Amino acid sequence: MNKLRANINQWLERLDRNWEAMPIKRQHEVILYFFAAYVLLTAVVIFNVCRDTAYARNNMAVEHIENPASAGKESPASLQYSLKKILKQ
């Protein structure tokens, strides 16, 4: 774990040195490109959310919940017997 942390710290230090070595004008351009990509991605997500909500069909079937115990005609004793029979096999 310490080796992984040391490798990550070295990698971050190299990135920081490369960033500091870059001219200010180039740093501004890189930041502008990242911001433009962020704005574009945000616009696409907002567009997709609006489109999905506009075309959403809000149909939900509301039905009564049936009790599975009352649906079967077998008694609980016969169900236990059949379970024991299945488990023995």
Pick 67 or 8 by higher pLDDT.
Answer: 8
Which sequence spans correspond to the domains of the chain? 24-57
Cα atoms found within 13 Å of the Cα of residue 71, Cβ hemisphere only: 4
Q: Where are the alpha helices (DSSP H) in 1-89?
A: 2-21, 24-54, 68-71, 76-88
Which is it for the CA torsion 59, 63, 68, 73, positive or negative?
negative
- The pLDDT value recorded for residue 80 is 58
pTM of the entire structure? 0.53
Pick 84 or 8 by higher pLDDT.
Answer: 8
- The pLDDT value recorded for residue 38 is 98
- The pLDDT value recorded for residue 60 is 73
pLDDT in tens, 20-79: 999 999 999 999 999 999 999 999 999 999 998 887 777 777 788 877 766 555 555 555
